[in-house]
Structure 1
């Protein structure tokens, strides 16, 4: 009897009660037939029914046990996952909440069990319409959904999560709830924000920016550098800075520059570059080396400032400091400077220096009678005529309103004056 029971137990999926039931039923019917209580023909049907019932009950028993094992495995995995996982019925009650909910939201598992609407309350106000549409969509159509959304933690911080929601159905195909996985992607979102900010700055900063790889081949440039150099980005990609090098600096200059970059990871200084049309322009260059975690250089970032306007402004300021604005002649300061140098040369060369002073007669009456614009024209004409009658090495200067001075150098005797 024991062997027969074990055999039936194996046949009926290891269920001892089911095996005993089938064995008892078959044995009882067999006894009834043996003692003549029932006909053999009536023995077959009950026996088959007993076996069928036993098979069905055994299958359901095994299925239930398998589901129990699967549920336990799911919970064991979810309990260890970094994602915040929950099972939620259609009425909003949680069947399961993983421990990671505390790390992500700050609320405990019990908080979610006690407060079925807690997840809805955590959603950031601006994202609430998106969340409500998602809940409605899942409840109505049972469609899988995945999206990024913000929530506010127990301490008031805002976190980004990637929310994945899948419907759960019963044997009749009716939705009974949802299974949701929530991954904290705050760090990724913050990184994306920083990249967007850097990209915005990169594209709109007034200085030119050039990023190369470790072999100094151009990976990207911003629009400002294209405007400065005259090249398009496509024309520069894969090229090296030799493309816009002016050859105004020798090899020793570049050797010193690269020695500083490789040793100090940075170099800055003034350089002369060449535009696409061939024009030279001064630039202030700042080069930084970018290293990976192992210290290996992987990129070079160059910031290029076109100093042409600055140079022109400096030259203009320098010019105005030493020249008369109206006539363009040297002013008193430049005249004095040239006079000092002329005297020093005269001592060395054993020559002489002569200075002449003159003014325009009745110039005041021209200004008062005809106006200052006419007076200015008279001064310009006088300056041009004086400048034309002297030698190239001599100096004509305007030292006051209508007063001029002429500096004559390399005078051998008074007769030559």
Structure 2
């Protein structure tokens, strides 16, 4: 058991056996009470409290001993590290692919460190988080605030795992994660798709067929190689994408680190055959995932630039995609990027009666529930089918018979 030491007074025993209290040399200097106890690792630790703080010292000692018994003890000194120091350590040791690492570093250093960087981990309270988020209202979109909150919660959660702090202030009941504004997906019409395709340079028109006809992401389209296609059997093997990491192009796994096979419609296969005839594929070598990596991957890319290079998404969006969208009479926005082609693909499959599970597999979603939440409003309405089914049972049509069955 630990004990509480009074550093301003000491108890002495007189020759006659009586005890009395005497002032020490430290009387009136510094904090009066010191709690001394043995940590789970066998080392002695202490915590000081001011004059008239004996009750707080006693409560602290009871809490420490109780936490030790429950296996929930956290050394108070461990939380004295600043948020900035711990966040930098977390960024170094967290397992990311390089593109995710880059964006996470930018968000943490731009939006979290200015507010929490100089605070000790143990000093961050739920009220600080509420104030921080409230200050961002109107400055950042709810979706961005939600992502930043998730980063903060993850970092402080890791601090709990590392026994730096006893609990995560982001998990307090008074703290609520910002909710992104839910916008329903409104798919483009076939005429919109055709207009955008016509507005693209001829060399890049196949991106529309692959996006709208196979549900591929932009980077997956740019990373598609000849060996990934089986034009006769009607399949695509999506196993890489072209990514932009620290301003350099690299090859990497598709999102969620999962490759997949997607049915290749004959119409899209015909487009690919003609494209490869007009623009022969190029064998290109890029680093794998990390620009600094020694691992290099070579692929015969189907879509490349006129400079015989892989396509940079930033260049493509600015010089080809957005001008084509504008020429089609659509106002460019965050919702009119190439990702809109995937929404068209999803709406077409759901309208044809494809299952959510199959659609999730073709889109490369790790969770079919996510696919359902995004696209459930696009599923064909069942109300009329329900009415007709019941009506046929209770009010059968006299004309129905073996001849009309």
Tell me the TM-score normalised to structure 2 length: 0.21
Larger strand percent: 1
Larger radius of gyration: 1
